[in-house]
Structure 1
Amino acid sequence: MAQSSQIKTTQAAGAPRLPDQAQTLALAKEVLRLESSEINALAQRLDHRFSEAVSLILECKGRVVVSGMGKSGHIGGKIASTLASTGTPAFFMHPAEASHGDLGMITAGDVVIALSNSGESDEILAIIPPLKRLGASIIAITGNDASSLAKAADVHLSAHVSKEACPLGLAPTSSTTVALALGDALALCVLDLRDFTAEDFARSHPGGSLGRRLLVRVVDLMRVGDGVPYVQAQAGLAEALLEMSRKGLGLTAIVDAEHKPIGVFTDGDLRRAFEQNVNVMTSKIADVMHTSPSTIHQDQLAITAVELMEQRKIHGLLVIDDAGCLVGALNMHDLLLAKVV
């Protein structure tokens, strides 16, 4: 019985307190204040060593390899990802795995960014000598200027903080935030010096919304061949309606002898024709078509097609080539399916 009672007491002691809203908000604000103040302090003490680190990355003939243990490793993974997505080939290498074969991924032309708050992480220090023998350059990010890692590096960047945001002063908080901000600063300075553009960023993110907006062109989405609705200028309205129905785009192009669009007829035009008692069986399409069809070149961005449709309050476009000939068609539904909108 005594043993059972002791177990219950221990469990109760570890139970969380009921949250006090005022105290919770006060602590949250203090955490954010402390971490932001440490980043501000970092900005004030940046010096020539930061520029040297940027130069090492810019001049790198291989890849940037980021490594760190524990929380530093998680931060390192984010830094490697940011570098890779902003024009600098980079990847994360776990230091413990590096000692068991992954060092084979490193070449003499690589730059290694090694993170350790103490600068004394055994797993990191163990790979520094072989990295140097391979001829890789080393940028260290530590919170201790006098650490073994700081002294061994080609360039040391200080991520020192005066206080962790953790109420116990134990969990890496301010220190990891500062290291992450330092990595972001490196990546974005390199981005700027490479004249990296939004289009370059999109090429690394083809599956994201930015990639779709900046990379997908009309030619990638348009209906082609038998999927393009069109009739000749001398066709009757009934023939045009059959073409619209077969192709399911809600419109049909009217083309001349050179296959250049000279008009368009849409579902909306059909409704207006009925309201005006137009005889479907006897009317010619040339009598009821719009003579200024909205077109877009096949090489234009798909997002431009969206903008044109929105500006003109239409739901479809005819696609032309350099000669002005009809080569395709698309509607808003096609753009929605491609997630351009």
Structure 2
Amino acid sequence: MNKTLSVAPMMDWTDRHCRVLHRSLTRRTRLYTEMVTARAVLHGDRQRLLGFSEVEHPVTLQLGGSEPQALAEAARIGEDFGYDAINLNVGCPSDRVQSGRFGACLMREPELVAGCMAAMIAAVVVPVTLKCRIGVDEQGPEESLFTLVDACATAGVRHVAVHARKAWLKGLSPKENRDVPPLDYGLVYRLKAVRAGLEIVLNGGVADLETATAHLAHVDGVMLGRAAYHNPGLLGQADRRVFGVGGDVSSLQAVEAYRPYMAEQLALGVPLNAMTRHMLGLFAGQPGARTWRRFLTTRAVGGAGLEVLDAALEAVARTPEWAA
């Protein structure tokens, strides 16, 4: 199987503006939407919820839900919108998700999840994939993970992304669930070794491309989450380092590539800060990073336009290290 890299679906972060920015840095990395519930797709503003730019491909729609027929219909709608794959969220630990009977709490109901996957697979032609944790609360991770994956594989699933932490639905906040439960990469490695015919993607705590490539010796793919969001510039090396194609894309090149999209969205009435908020970490670890963040945070407000972006770039260019 070809090795893959993805940017994980992250609520309130991986919206369409974020994804276009990430695509300006990497052509090969797979992008994911924020999770959208099946019911929202069926009854909400579909263009607002599902609309995306053609440049985002390959891009996966992540759904949340536990009703097979609703998920199947939402998957059909997502396929009609042009998404390259449909993913079911069985990993989100938030209270809202639990009350709606979707997300990580479904780790306790592997047969229901398998039924949902089977219904979606029957409804669409594009791949239907799963994203899960290794278990929840008191579950034994090895048993819970293998039971869920085997049930879904029987239903026809061939691609599983595993966040290598348990989710503690009792006692930990969603934020704590991203850091406190210990990581068990070895369990995900064993899953791949024992279920070699499945495409297994590892997620959780991957901080940089060096770590990602080390994991790729054991699994088929790696997902970057917060690391890619807070330091998107690292994606500029992904095509070369992970996929072995092309050259690196600098942060300055990414800004220039993103600029026409920003102009187009501003003309449609999208506020500047809806796009610049995803760019704050673009120069992380580089000269002028603090100046860049300050300009975009304080000036990309109200009816601001691309003159703020130009001013931020000029200020970065005046940083002594850059000027040298």
Q: Tell me which interval the TM-score lies in, with the shorter structure as reference length.
A: 0.3 to 0.5
TM-score with structure 2 setting the length = 0.32
TM-score with structure 1 setting the length = 0.31
Structure showing greater relative contact order (alpha-carbon pairs closer than 8 Å, 6 or more residues apart): 2
